[in-house]
C-alpha cells in the first residue's frame, strides 16, 4: 500500500472511525481501552516495528483478523525464542507478508500507535 492518503478508502475509514467515536456511547474514549498483553508498536521506526508488553496499560490499537494460511510460508512468527529480540531490536517490515505490511501502514496512517 504505497501512500494510503490519496485513496478514497482511507478517507472512508477516517469518516467511519469519527462517526463511531462521536455517535456510539461505548466508543467515545478509545484511549481508555485496555491493551492486550502484547501489541505491535508501529511507531517504533520507519522500517521496523517491535513487540511491546503493555503491562496493563490503556490506549488505542487496531485489531487485524486474518487467515494464517500455510504455516510453512510464515517467515515471521513470535515464539519464546525470539520474543526478547523482537521486543528490543524490532522486526523489519520486509520480514512480514503483504497483509501485515498493509495493516502496519494503515495503522500508522490513521495515527494509531498499536496493532
Res 73: pLDDT: 63
Span 103-112, pLDDT tens digits: 999 999 888 9
More confidently predicted of 12 and 86: 86
Residues 114/62, Cβ–Cβ less than 8 Å: yes
Residue (of 102, 115, 111, 113) closest to 4 by Cα position: 102
Burial per residue of 2-20, b for 16 or more beta-carbon CB atoms within 10 angstroms, e otherwise? eebeeeeebeeeeeebeee
**pLDDT tens sequence across 8-20:** 677 888 888 888 8
- For residue 46, pLDDT beyond 90: yes
Q: Which residue has the higher pLDDT, 16 or 86?
A: 86
Domain ranges of the chain: 33-109
Greater model confidence, 26 or 78? 78
Predicted structure pTM score: 0.79
Amino acid at each position: 500500500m504505497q501512500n494510503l492518503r490519496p485513496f478514497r478508502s482511507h478517507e472512508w475509514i477516517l469518516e467511519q472511525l469519527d462517526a463511531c467515536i462521536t455517535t456510539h456511547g461505548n466508543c467515545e474514549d478509545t484511549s481508555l481501552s485496555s491493551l492486550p498483553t502484547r501489541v505491535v508498536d508501529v511507531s517504533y521506526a520507519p522500517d521496523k516495528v517491535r513487540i511491546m508488553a503493555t503491562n496493563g496499560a490503556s490506549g488505542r490499537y487496531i485489531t487485524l483478523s486474518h487467515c494464517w494460511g500455510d504455516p510453512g510460508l510464515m517467515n515471521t512468527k513470535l515464539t519464546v525464542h525470539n520474543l526478547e529480540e523482537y521486543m528490543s531490536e524490532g522486526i523489519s517490515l520486509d520480514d512480514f507478508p503483504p497483509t501485515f505490511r498493509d495493516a502496519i501502514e494503515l495503522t500508522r496512517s490513521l495515527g494509531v500507535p498499536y496493532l
